[in-house]
A and B are shown apart, each in its own frame.
Chain A
Amino acid sequence: MAEVLVLVDHTDGGVKKVTAELLTFARRLGEPAAVFVGSGFDTAKESLAQYGATKTYVADGDDLSSYLVAPAAEVLAKLVSDTTPAAVLLASGAEGKEIAGRLAVKTGSGVITDATDVTADGGTITAEQPIFGGSTVVRSTVTTGTPIITVRPNSVAAEPADGAADKVDVSIELSEAAKGARITDRVVEEKGERPELSEAAIVVSGGRGVGSGENFSVIEALADSLGAAVGASRAATDAGWYPHQHQVGQTGKTVSPQLYIAAGISGAIQHRAGMQTSKTIVAINKDPEAPIFELVDFGVVGDLHQVVPALTEKVKARKG
Chain B
Amino acid sequence: MNIVVCVKQVPDTWSEKKLAASDSTLDRAATDPVMNEMDEYAVEEALKLQEAHGGEVTILCMGPDAATETVRKALSMGADKAIHVIDDGLHGSDALATSLALAKAISKAGGFDLVLLGSESSDARMSVVPAMLAERLGLPQLTFAKEVTINTVDGATKISIKRLTDDGYQVVEASTPAVVSVVEKINEPRYPSFKGIMAAKKKPVETYGLADLGVDTGEVGTAGAWSKVESFEAAPPRQAGTVVTDEGEGADKLLEFLASKKFV
Contact = CB atoms under 8 A, between A and B. Distances in A.
B127 interface: yes
A81 interface: no
Given A110-B96, A136-B235, A187 B242 contact: no
Interface stretch (B58-66, B197-205, B246-254): B246-254
A95 B37 CA distance: 21
A99 B126 CA distance: 12
Interface stretch (B47-55, B109-117, B225-233): B225-233
Contacts of B250: 284, 300, 302, 306-307, 310
Contact of A111 (B128, B146, B165, B173): B128
Interface string A119-142: 000000010001110111111111
Contacts of A130: 235
B141 interface: yes
Name the residue in A94, A145, A184, A190 with the highest tally of chain B Cβ atoms < 10 Å from its Cβ: A94
A181 interface: yes
Given A106-B135, A136-B233, A143 B128 contact: no
* Chain A interface, DSSP helix/strand/loop, else mixed: mixed
Interface in B113-141: 120, 122-132, 134-136, 138-141
Interface string B250-263: 11111101110101
A187 B170 CA distance: 6
A113 B128 contact: yes
Name the residue in A182, A196, A251 with the highest tally of chain B Cβ atoms < 10 Å from its Cβ: A251
A302 B212 CA distance: 61
Given A251-B183, A299-B243, A196 B143 contact: no
Given A114-B125, A138-B19, A251-B38, A181 B229 contact: no
Interface stretch (B10-18, B72-80, B81-89): B10-18
Contacts of A197: 166
A37 interface: no
Contact of A311 (B122, B141, B242, B254): B254
Contacts, number: 272
Nearest to A187: B168
B173 A182 contact: yes
A114 B126 contact: yes
Contacts of B16: 135
B99 to A, nearest CB: 7
Contact of B185 (A237, A258, A284): A237
Interface string A69-95: 110010000000000000000000110
Contact of B168 (A184, A189, A270): A189
* Chain B interface, DSSP helix/strand/loop, else mixed: mixed
A211 to B, nearest CB: 17
Nearest to B255: A314
Given A97-B128, A319-B264, A180 B139 contact: yes
A243 to B, nearest CB: 8
Name the residue in B134, B136, B178, B257 with the highest tally of chain A Cβ atoms < 10 Å from its Cβ: B134
Interface string B89-111: 00000111001000000000000
B162 to A, nearest CB: 8
Contacts of A113: 126-128
Interface string B211-247: 0000000000000011111111111001101111110
Interface residues of B, number: 85
B241 A105 contact: no
B150 interface: no
23 contacts: A94-B165, A97-B126, A98-B141, A104-B96, A111-B95, A111-B226, A111-B227, A113-B128, A137-B233, A138-B232, A140-B228, A177-B138, A181-B142, A183-B171, A187-B170, A245-B165, A259-B261, A284-B254, A296-B243, A297-B239, A310-B250, A311-B254, A315-B264
Interface of B: 13-14, 16-19, 24, 37-38, 94-96, 99, 120, 122-132, 134-136, 138-144, 146, 160, 163-175, 178, 183-185, 225-235, 238-239, 241-246, 250-255, 257-259, 261, 263-264
Interface of A: 68-70, 73, 93-94, 97-102, 104-106, 108-114, 126, 130-132, 134-145, 177, 180-191, 196-198, 202, 226, 237-238, 244-245, 250-251, 254, 258-259, 269-270, 273, 280-282, 284, 288, 293-303, 306-307, 310-311, 314-315, 318-319
Given A186-B165, A244-B183, 6 more contacts: A69-B143, A97-B127, A111-B95, A130-B235, A143-B226, A145-B226
